[in-house]
Amino acid sequence: MLDPNQLRKDLPSVVAALARRGVSFDTERFAQLESRRKAVQVETETLQARRNAVSKLIGQLKSKGEDASKEMAESQAIPEQLKALEQDLSAIQAELNEWLMTIPNLPHESVPEGKSSDDNVEVRRWVPGPTDANGNPAPLPFEVKDHVTLAERFGLDFESARKLAGSRFMMLRGAAARLHRAAAQFMLDLQTESHGYTECYTPYIVNSSTLYGTGQLPKFKDDMFWVTKGGQDKEPQLDEQGNPVEREDLYLISTSEITLAGSMRDTITPAADLPIKLTAHTPCFRSEAGSGGRDVRGVIRQHQFDKVELVQVVQPEASYQALEDMVTHAEAVLQKLGVPYRVMLLCGGDMGFGAAKTYDLEVWLPAQNTWREISSVSNCEAFQARRLQARYRPEKGKPEYLHTLNGSGLAVGRALVAIIENYQQEDGSVIVPEALRPYMGGIERL
């Protein structure tokens, strides 16, 4: 969530920054809310001053033996008036917060101008083999097959998944399932053993409060899978003491960023405990409303897929170095797998809702003859932390908001696509990358 104090102190710069994302900020609505807030606060302060004055006057009248009934009646009415003003102020603040929950983060000054992915800027690329005139991996010297054609031979099964759950799901059998597990295990081991992340196992179902905190709600509600709990209309939800509590909506996670960053909710972390570096391998569930027609063939865009997620929680002054580090942590996976990739700096119009700055990693897919995203790494600055009330305690002074960062390290299904297509052979077999062979029992070819 944006900082309300920044809106009050420097509204023009906020408006200009949001315009770089293609977002128009309703300054008139904000001015009206601020005017109402200030009016209530002024009335509250005036009434509080009057309460103090009346109390003093009552004491003076009584000390003189004079009648203070009129002043006492006024004094007795003031608490109810103050309570009403407090409720008015809370309502105004709630309206402001509800609105700010729908407004994206401000882009960092280093984010390039642009409206779409066409305006993203290539930072670097890594191609381990020969290249063509455009710097792309040289074409394979035989007719290229896509990952579906190649992997159906060793266990990729869309038909069974379609019977079980519908379109955009997959089932893996045998060697394909083992390759999928090997890739995820390799990614986890690399991030924990080489880059210092703590492995976590998290819930796959979260409540709506967590999703508001991390920024998926309210904007992306239609892209989430909701969970309906059996018998929820009959059985009240109870807390640990057995008292009834208000039931929250539940959702399947779309990324373990939600649970990893969400675990910092309502916490104050000692500065000495920072940075916090977390990773988890989880399934991710996305309904992707409105994405029909894109990538309907294959593994690229699924309703359920696996991902190894990276999250860092750091002090504000360390967050942009952490962002660069996290990009290299994701790159290390692709380099060890020997898959060509490039790093793209996203323009203002192409960034995700909570990001202040984002790098995308894109892998080369020979069958599509193009680069496709496999990881996004973002610095959210204090945007998530403010929503989560995640703070740290510096050595001196009051608690301050943390900066949170997240990134894929990597999307497992898309990594399989890149491996299968880049390591394909003319006879239709697929070489297993050396980095994965220890996880595959030494198997070298599928």
- Annotated binding-site residues for L-serine read 255-257, 286, 309, 406, 408
- Tally the C-alpha atoms within 13 A of residue 101's C-alpha that lie toward its C-beta: 20
Residue whose tokens read 């700010």 = 100
Q: How far is CA 71 from CA 44, 47, 48, 50, 59, in A?
A: 19, 14, 15, 11, 10
Encoding tokens for residue 183? 């890739």
Contacts by 188-192 with C-beta closer than 8 Å and gap 24+?
188/279, 188/281, 188/308, 190/332, 190/333, 190/336, 191/279, 191/308, 191/310, 191/329, 191/409, 192/279
Question: Dihedrals φ, ψ of 142, to 5°?
Answer: -160, 175
How far is Cα of residue 98 from the mean position of the Cα atoms in its chain? 18
Residues, the chain, total?
446
Residue whose tokens read 């790159």 = 331
Return the DSSP state at 123: E
Query: What SS3 state is found at 130?
Result: coil
Distance CA 330, CA 184 (A): 13
Encoding tokens for residue 27? 């300054």
Contacts of 137 (CB under 8 A, 6+ apart): 127, 129, 130, 131, 340, 364, 366, 422
Q: Which residues of 75-89 are buried (b: 16+ CB within 10 A; e: fewer)?
A: beebeeeeeebeebb
Residue stretches of the annotated binding site: 255-257, 286-288, 309, 373-376, 406, 408
Encoding tokens for residue 345? 């700096």
For 299-359, what is the HEC assignment?
Answer: CCCCCEEEEEEEEEEECHHHHHHHHHHHHHHHHHHHHHHCCCEEEEECCHHHCCCCCCEEE
Contacts by 220-224 with C-beta closer than 8 Å and gap 24+?
220/254, 220/353, 222/287, 222/289, 222/290, 223/254, 223/286, 223/287, 223/288, 223/289, 224/251, 224/252, 224/254, 224/285, 224/286, 224/287
Residue stretches of the annotated binding site for ATP: 286-288, 373-376
